Chains A and B, each alone.
Chain A
Amino acid sequence: MPVVMDADRMGRSLARIAHEIVERNRGVEELALVGIRTRGVPLARRLARAVKDINDHDVPTGALDITLYRDDLMRHAVGPQPLIRRTEIPFSIDDKRILLVDDVLYTGRTIRAALDALIDFGRPKAIQLVVLVDRGHRELPIKADYVGKNVPTSRLQSVQVRLAEIDGRDEVEIQDA
């Protein structure tokens, strides 16, 4: 199966996104990063480091588990419930510009759930969306502000993002069903 992004390419994509973030937000004092569990969390941390490399500023970083907000949660009659992990947003999001970070943007439903969840934590000034891969096939009116790579896929395929922190190496692979 084709690897559409290797470690080198991923590193360059994240560095570019970090620069775009700094440019577009005219300074970084109001910024905060929130990664969506699971793989959005290490991506958010890497972006925080990249931003710090650019202007030596620490951007607060949190982790969001959106399971309890999923719109498909109670629709399955069979099978155990998905595991819930901890949400950790150790700062107030009021009046912050939140950079919501996820690995793959697909139907948009995860982002919808994440937006609902974030709103429960306060009233941010703005929420921007960062994704490593946009694979298309949106079902909701949601668009990413920062994209590592647009990858055309069919609905039958799946996109595997692997990150060193979790999977031991950095790569994005497309798999046929």
Chain B
Amino acid sequence: MVRDLEMTFHMPKCLLKGGRVVDPANGRDGTFDVLIDGGRIAKVGRDLPVDAGVAVVDIPSGLVICPGLIDMHVHLREPGQEHKETVATGTAAAVAGGFTAVACMPNTNPVNDNAGVTEYILNKAAEANLARVYPIGAVSKGQAGEQLAEIAELGQAGCVAISDDGRPVATAMLMRRALEYAGMFNLPVIEHCEDQTLKNDGVAHEGFHASALGLRGIPGEAESIMALRDIALAELTRGAVHIAHMSARQTLDAVRWGKSRGARVTCEVTPHHFVLTDERLGTPIAFDTNVKMNPPLREEADRDAMLAGIADGSVDVIATDHAPHHYDEKRVEFDHAPFGITGLETAVSLCFDRLVHSGIVSLARLVELLSVNPARVLRVAGGSLAEGAPADISMLAPDLSVTVSVARMRSKSKNTPFDGWTLRGGVAATMVGGRIVYVNEAVDLRM
């Protein structure tokens, strides 16, 4: 059946009939047909006629059709750390998670601080031919925080933003220059906010749970202090700063303050920061290295603040910070384990279960968080089912019962704390440029 379906989508024209189309960029939320022609959206309307030579796919009721989801914060690890993930396995995980595009961070080896590495990544993405890949270039050469990388060339080669993710831009001066310089090319600066002196050698959120387990703490202020600096510099320079993987309630307040002053600041939150808290450090598995990430899981008040920010619109984007690590690297003492968890294949289910079904956001708002806004922040195509737009479409199954299983994951790494969780909501199929690249066999898609 899957094969038949793929054949259908390979026909030049196809019509997605029925299904709830959620396309907030065009103000649509209702039952519509979507006609796809030559890899682009040809028409969206009610009861479109079925012309000769058009393959028809009847979308079962209950499924949602929306503009392709974009994860603007992933680590594909290639080049240099192919034992963790490759562009091919990472994009396979992306499409299985409902994402039609990902933006990958430059902390590869070598660092993506020059056009050569950017081109290498784009070539690998073309070979894999699954999700679209938008490389993010480094702010500084080698992410060393000293000299600016060749940002203009990075932009020309295809980078959509710059970031020293994993390491914050250490000095205010370099950050100021990066904002000014990247601003000329309309490239946002994505900042991993973290004051290194406050973080010190911390491995978990500074609070009761880390203290009880004897783990060195990282206070929320390590993040918010740098966010405040960057927002002030964005105001000074008129540059655009995007606060990555926001975790602390103080940071959210900083973002709100910046927005209220008209600074060009946006921010993202990861699913694990709106689902989990630092209580997980001790239970159900004490010292589980799959709950070690940076920024760390914070306390309940922070988690609730993230949910409130998502609900009230202060949060622009949900991104996963997909950070694959080999099991050997994670099967060590908590102190020695690398930070990070995978996220591409669990994000949609977590968002449905914890945001939509719990009434925190509407489906339309979720599509903004996962598609419309990341496209806007990165200034890339997508986020819209407008006529003429590339046919990047995510088909979601809001009521599908999904049991997370690392055995079935397509990512090369299995470092997730969500293994075994049963969640309501999942992915039915993923289409990139009019071509189906993923079909969930658990969903009954009929011709």
Do chains A and B directly touch (beta carbons under 8 Å) in the complex?
A: no
Q: Which residues of B are interface residues toward A (Cβ below 8 A)?
A: none
